[in-house]
Structure 1
Amino acid sequence: MTAYPLLLKQLWHTPLANAPQQEIIYRDQVRLSYRQVYARVNQLAAALAADGFEQGDVVAVIDHDSHRYLECYFAIPMYGATLMTVNTKLTPAQIAYTLNHSGAALLLLHADFIPVIETIRAELSGIRKIVVIADGTALPQTAVHFEREYESWLADKTDTFDFADFDENTRATVFYTTGTTGAPKGVYYSHRQLVLHTLAAGMALAAPAAHQRLHAEDVYMPLTPMFHVHAWGMPYIATLLGIKQVYPGRYAPDLLLKLIREEKVTCSHCVPTLLKMILTAAQASATDLHGWKVVIGGSALPHALARQALAMGVDCFAGYGLSETAPILTLAQLTGNSLQASAPDDALTAVCSAGRAIPLVELRIVDKTMRPQPHDGQSSGEIVARAPWLAQGYLANPEASAALWQDGYLHTQDIGVIDPDGYLHITDRLKDIIKVAGEWVSSLEVENALSLVAGVKEVAVIGVPDKRWGERPLALLVVDQSIFNEPAVHEQMRLSIERGLISKHALLTKFKQVDAIAKTSVGKVDKKVLRAEHMSVD
């Protein structure tokens, strides 16, 4: 019997057979069928071969979210090379480090990012060739030498490339996660891992009867950068299902709303700050968002934001995972057919939780000795996991790899509890939890309580040194002064403590209004920066 390896090319069989005319769209500029996109995938592979690139070579991509990026998601690994997705939010020095550390030999570069590469080109010792991507505009004058423009590079190549079978454990992708200390770490995945993640996450998303689900009639638009953990793996799932896909390019509220409205987008995923931006723009333009499903990740989904989204007809729910988990581990899908299937507050708590494990994921809450804690909603510990697609380590970093997989489980560095229904509730990061007079205070729980106060637009809670208590919480608030009432903050804290939602030691929280809260390159609150900025608060 001939082996059938789990390769990314296998994800194309079903859509090409069942939905070859389905559309893949880029902004309001390009409309292609699945058959046409697959032809371009073949042409990209042929271009790699024509230019002498080999299996095992690393091809780096710097682009906005586009149909071209989707082509790279497939063609480069299917050729046997490794796709390296460059985080465009890093500093030029960090971009240079990641390109060199990954061993990238070819760079596919959108013209918008030429100025970044101009500043570091001399440092990129391994890049042999640069192909520039343009959106139908004239290429800029630049000191960066590039061989071809992407479309002309593909134009004369065959669209029937012969994609050979090879070992399913071949490295398919690599990207870099920005930790709190040290240089960015390379996270890599094999074909087998990505196919298994696609199947398990796709099954989980399709399982519910009505809400919080993805199905064949949906229209998908990513709102998580495609350089970040394969856009949460969703483009692979969407392609396998053969659904209409819309790629927005550079994010702009007006264009995003236009695409949602005109292309009838029904499914997206993003971080909370981007959802808030879209809801605000939709209210200002009277755009109807009913029927739009959104998975929220990257940071906790605040109850206040979820309530606002649900009131506007958005079926929002949380998911959880890491760069090292490909990334989906859990999804906060309700067991009933609608939010009305249970008490409203219980349903809101469920969709704002991290959710329940998707198929093939083993989750544990463990103490410092790796002893599993009961799923009683009260016993907390570090979240550790096993699944067949989890990253096996960091590229050329054995010490960090060993720490990641200590005692045979992937360590998330997150603290949480699992309730009797299997829902994971994250209470903090190991490095973010605040110890006040010997008692733990969850920064995430305090943030969630404060997000419910009228006029609080954003909130972040960090621990700052205190001579008497050792440490105490500091809540940083971005507020709407026209409706914000400071006494309401103290009242909300009192009520939350009375209800047992937060520790009584949270009464020692200090409050400070700020103009903005620092974010990481992927839109998460950057508590490392916040601690550096506010550590000396009296």
Structure 2
Amino acid sequence: MAKTKIMPPAAGAYAYPLLIKRLLMSGVQHQPDQQIIYADTLRYTYRELEQRVRRLANVLRAAGVQAGDTVALLDWDSHRSLECFFAVPMIGAVLHTVNIRLSPEQVAYTMNHAGDDLVLVHDDFVPLLEQLHGQLGKVKGYLQLTDREAAATSLPVLGEYEALLDAASPEAEFEDFDEQSVATLFYTTGTTGNPKGVYFSHRQLVLHTLNQLGTFAAYDGQPLLRSSDVYMPITPMFHVHAWGVPYTATMLGIKQVYPGRYEPDKLVRLYRDEGVTFSHCVPTLLQMMLDSEQGRHTDFSRWKILLGGSALTHGLARQASERGMLIFSGYGMSETCPLLTLTHLHDEDLALPMCEQVAQRIKTGAPVAMVDLRIVDAAGVEVAHDGESLGEIVVRSPWLTQGYLHEPEKGAELWQDGWLHTGDMGSIDRHGVLEIKDRIKDVIKTGGEWISSLALENLISQHAAVNAVAVVGIPDEHWGERPIALVVCMPGDSLDQVGLEAHLKQFVDSGQINKWAIPRQVHFVADIPKTSVGKINKKLIREMHC
């Protein structure tokens, strides 16, 4: 290791720890009168946000929460969730955002595995926790969250959220502590085995926020989030901190709109009525908004939307662009906090008509600053940046989880050879743009060749009658695996296997796919199975059709 020089600080110099409280205070100082909005229920200013965070800190301390304890939250995307994003870590505790879409057994597993001490629970999830309460050995009490009158419950409730905040003092001190302290915890939504706990420190979240702010605001080709924008998340706040954007939006001091439970028509109304300009979501929710009654009659020309979580098909991106949306793609995962790459359009791309920009906008983008990203083969050797050579994506950055909670063996597997292994296959072109080809476990191996399920989905989606599509590989005695497709047609449209094969033949003729990549089994369905965060559940599809 190189010999470096470290100078001692001057007497009295302040060592400034990177703590989440700094993000809140920056927004309050910059825009104290800007609004925070919860659906059609509540609106208040950043100045009031700070007071409410201080009141909540006092409520938590009065409930016995100490530094190092874990506080669970079961709520929709609300102002309460935003307040918990700050108040819980700011007193030195750990915020566990519980995935409310897991099965009851998985919810109980994650809450016990996390060692939750106190639980904040919305009325909608009180029946679930009444069912599980006897299994949650460490939980000492519950705070009840309600949008109406608090429902009666058998849980040992310490009080209702708003009443407790009203009675609490708006004065609270937040002392400095080690920036490496764990701030947040949530569980991955993998389709095999128990969910795994992923955790992040104050330092990691502050660095991710600063980087995201610069990435979203600085580049002319991708001005996603600037001081004049209005932000509404459409990614659950229990999943990777809603991609970290609430922290970034709060630091910037912009107007924020929290929609509560996701209902497509309501999301479109809030977009329209509150002047929303930036959101992020998975492709499934984008499709639902476009197809909704309100969506069919709304001008989307000011809406910038960042898509991630699963592959964005050419067909869906075209639909959104034709409706006026400005589409961007990003890449990350639960373990990466999550931002790794983002759409980066060059001047020549931006000069193209929007219909021709779609192909560039659906690529995964270029690595953002402070992300080291490689594509490596099975031996760990980096492959060529030619847009064709495939390998696994491995990464390093300051905000990657350092392991899995209580599972050191799985953490070591994640961090082989000092690089975080994503389990995704991709290629990088000569401009440094990453394109995800598939999950390693979803690549279809047929007759000695690899077929990308994502590439097939993208080509199928370009048929005008296709609304949604999923492709998986199933065992085949002769070929090893063969692709099958699940297709949802556009309302009022129809398609059959002959028509789909004719559509795909053009891509065989152009050399984009081989003829054996055309699915010989196509199932036309009303819906495609999804995971708890809206991703296509390919494991379940394989189980259903094997």
TM-score when normalising by structure 2: 0.95
Alpha-carbon displacement from aligned partner over 1:46-104 (angstroms, at most 9, x marks no partner):
11222221100000000110111000000100110000000000011111111110010
Q: For the Cα contact (< 8 Å) 1:380–1:417, is it kept in 2?
A: yes
Give 1:62's match in structure 2, choosing from 74, 77, 95. 74
CA distance in 2, matches of 1:236, 1:284: 28
Q: For the Cα contact (< 8 Å) 2:289–2:295, is it kept in 1?
A: no
Give 2:32's match in structure 1, choosing from 2, 17, 20. 20
Describe the shift of the 1:307–1:481 C-alpha distance in structure 2 as closer, same or farther (beyond 3 A): closer
Q: For the Cα contact (< 8 Å) 1:272–1:301, is it kept in 2?
A: yes
Residue matched to 1:341: 351
Corresponding position: 1:71 with 2:83: yes
* Deviation at residue 280 of structure 1 after TM alignment: 1.6
Residue matched to 1:323: 334
CA distance in 2, matches of 1:173, 1:507: 44
Q: For the Cα contact (< 8 Å) 1:56–1:81, is it kept in 2?
A: yes
SS in 2 for 1:495: helix
* Deviation at residue 414 of structure 1 after TM alignment: 0.3
Residue matched to 1:44: 56
SS in 2 for 1:431: helix
Deviating more after overlay: 516-525 vs 489-498: 489-498
SS in 2 for 1:60: strand
Give 1:83's match in structure 2, choosing from 95, 101, 104. 95
Corresponding position: 1:308 with 2:303: no
Give 1:221's match in structure 2, choosing from 229, 232, 235. 232
Q: For the Cα contact (< 8 Å) 2:321–2:355, is it kept in 1?
A: no
Give 1:127's match in structure 2, choosing from 139, 152, 165. 139
Residue matched to 1:396: 406
Describe the shift of the 1:344–1:32 C-alpha distance in structure 2 as closer, same or farther (beyond 3 A): closer
Alpha-carbon displacement from aligned partner over 1:313-370 (angstroms, at most 9, x marks no partner):
1011111100000011111131239x65147666212110111111100110000111
Which residues of 2 match residues 109-120 of structure 1 at below 5 A? 109-120=121-132
* Deviation at residue 285 of structure 1 after TM alignment: 4.8
SS in 2 for 1:268: strand
Q: For the Cα contact (< 8 Å) 1:212–1:315, is it kept in 2?
A: no
Residue matched to 2:185: 174
**Structure 2 unmatched ranges of 5 or more:** 1-12
Residue matched to 1:94: 106
Letter of the aligned partner of 1:477 in structure 2?
V
SS in 2 for 1:143: coil
Which residues of 2 match residues 152-171 of structure 1 at below 5 A? 152-171=163-182
Corresponding position: 1:33 with 2:45: yes
Residue matched to 2:374: 364
Give 1:247's match in structure 2, choosing from 258, 272, 280. 258
Alpha-carbon displacement from aligned partner over 1:182-219 (angstroms, at most 9, x marks no partner):
11100000000001111112211112225452111000
Corresponding position: 1:145 with 2:152: no
Give 1:472's match in structure 2, choosing from 482, 493, 497. 482
Letter of the aligned partner of 2:14 in structure 1?
T
Alpha-carbon displacement from aligned partner over 1:348-396 (angstroms, at most 9, x marks no partner):
1211011111110011000011100111101110000000000011000
Which residues of 2 match residues 253-292 of structure 1 at below 5 A? 253-281=264-292, 285-292=296-303
Q: For the Cα contact (< 8 Å) 1:201–1:359, is it kept in 2?
A: no
Corresponding position: 1:460 with 2:458: no
Residue matched to 2:4: none
Deviating more after overlay: 434-443 vs 276-285: 276-285
SS in 1 for 2:292: helix
Describe the shift of the 1:267–1:508 C-alpha distance in structure 2 as closer, same or farther (beyond 3 A): closer
CA distance in 2, matches of 1:326, 1:267: 20
SS in 2 for 1:483: coil
Alpha-carbon displacement from aligned partner over 1:113-138 (angstroms, at most 9, x marks no partner):
11111111100001001000011x22
* Deviation at residue 283 of structure 1 after TM alignment: 6.5
CA distance in 2, matches of 1:310, 1:345: 7
Letter of the aligned partner of 1:6 in structure 2?
L
Percent sequence identity over aligned pairs: 50
* Deviation at residue 498 of structure 1 after TM alignment: 2.5
Alpha-carbon displacement from aligned partner over 1:208-249 (angstroms, at most 9, x marks no partner):
225452111000000001000000000001001111000000
CA distance in 1, matches of 2:364, 2:439: 13
Corresponding position: 1:104 with 2:103: no
CA distance in 2, matches of 1:145, 1:56: 22
Give 1:189's match in structure 2, choosing from 173, 196, 200. 200
User: Runs (4+) of structure 1 moved beyond 4 Å?
Assistant: 282-285, 343-346
**Structure 1 unmatched ranges of 5 or more:** none
CA distance in 1, matches of 2:151, 2:87: 27
Q: For the Cα contact (< 8 Å) 2:24–2:86, is it kept in 1?
A: no
Letter of the aligned partner of 1:273 in structure 2?
T
CA distance in 2, matches of 1:180, 1:94: 12
